[in-house]
Amino acid sequence: MLESQSPGTAAQKNISKIQIILDRRLREAIERDSFKAQLQNELTMPCVEEVCIQEQFPFFPPLASAMPTQWTRTGLFSNVKKGERRILKNEILEGRSDYRVRMSGEELDMYDNDVFLHAVQLAQGLSVGEPVYFERAAFLRAIGRGSDLSAESYCRLHESIERLASATIFVDANSGGETFRLIDKLKWGQENNYWIMMDPMVVSLFANSYLAFIDMEIRLRLKSPLSKYLQNYISGHSIGVHRVAWESLRKWSGSRGRARDFKTRALPPALRELEGVGVIEQWCIRDEVVNWTRIAHAKSKRRS
């Protein structure tokens, strides 16, 4: 015979069940309120979308490379003779007074300039952080050294790239200053392949500066390092007549011989070479000044 529950015990159990249900409903309500508050905060929070616009190397005219115009008026890449390369330590390079360049590292010569100019060609259209890939034999052919693919030639290329990656450049201009390396990162493998990344500051300079476009087809025909330096310098100026003190050119180009030898023995052959390839005409050296007329490029629409 089953024992019957007392009314008090049954009522107590019902109250306990009701309490459990109420507690559960309360927790659910609290969770809903918390979730609602979270959503409300997200809806009322200002929506700020971060837009990252990466600068990139500009595109150049066909067969051209480029340098910022201000660089062409300094001794950043100079006419250093074999065996005379110096190690610089925060040294002020020759150049205009309104754009002072200091450098730490091995001096950079016109071979280094050729290497840098082709690296810049390969970097066209790339954004900050995008690597440049190349194979060393193809690179040497592009800078006119394809007839000598010896171990010595490969070593010279590698040493040049390392100089570009290790040199530290400081610029003090009227508008402010900056510091950078020409090549930010460098990697090479056993299959003769190279991977380089241009310094973000260099990318920014190329994207935002006036550029001197340098005809690389003409450059391959130039033999004299001084002719190549003058090609850079002339490319940074407008078409037409130009006058400059030859002593300034001697200093800026890094020519360390006697001044009279530069005027009478080094400068005239370099100007004749540039005249022969159609860069200038009607040049002359009178007293302390050298004059020439820069010719418009054969494919350029500009004639003045």
pLDDT in tens, 197-208: 999 999 999 999
Q: Find all residues with CB under 8 Å of 225, minimum gap 6, and list them.
A: 79, 80, 109, 110
pTM: 0.81
Q: If we measure between CA atoms, which residue out of 206, 181, 176 comes closest to residue 76?
A: 181
Q: How far apart are CA 233 and CA 141, in angstroms?
A: 25
Cα angle 82-83-87, degrees, rounded to a multiple of 5: 115
Q: Contact, 245 vs 289, CB < 8 A?
A: yes
At 34, the pLDDT band (50, 70, 90 cuts) reads: low
Q: If we measure between CA atoms, which residue out of 302, 299, 303, 304 comes closest to residue 61?
A: 299
Q: Quote the pLDDT of residue 210.
A: 94
| Higher pLDDT pick, 67 / 46 | 67
At 29, the pLDDT band (50, 70, 90 cuts) reads: low
Q: How far apart are CA 166 and CA 182, in angstroms?
A: 8
Q: Contact, 73 vs 252, CB < 8 A?
A: yes
Q: Which residue has the tokens 């001197």?
A: 212
> How many CA atoms are closer than 13 Å to the CA of 290, on its beta-carbon side?
21
Average pLDDT score, the chain: 88
* 249-280 confidence digits (pLDDT tens): 999 999 988 999 999 999 999 999 999 999 99
Please report the beta strands in the chain, taking only residues with DSSP state E, as ranges in sequence order.
64-68, 77-78, 87-92, 99-106, 108-109, 132-135, 168-173, 176-181, 183-188, 193-198, 211-215, 240-245, 280-286, 289-294
Q: How far apart are CA 78 and CA 148, in angstroms?
A: 24
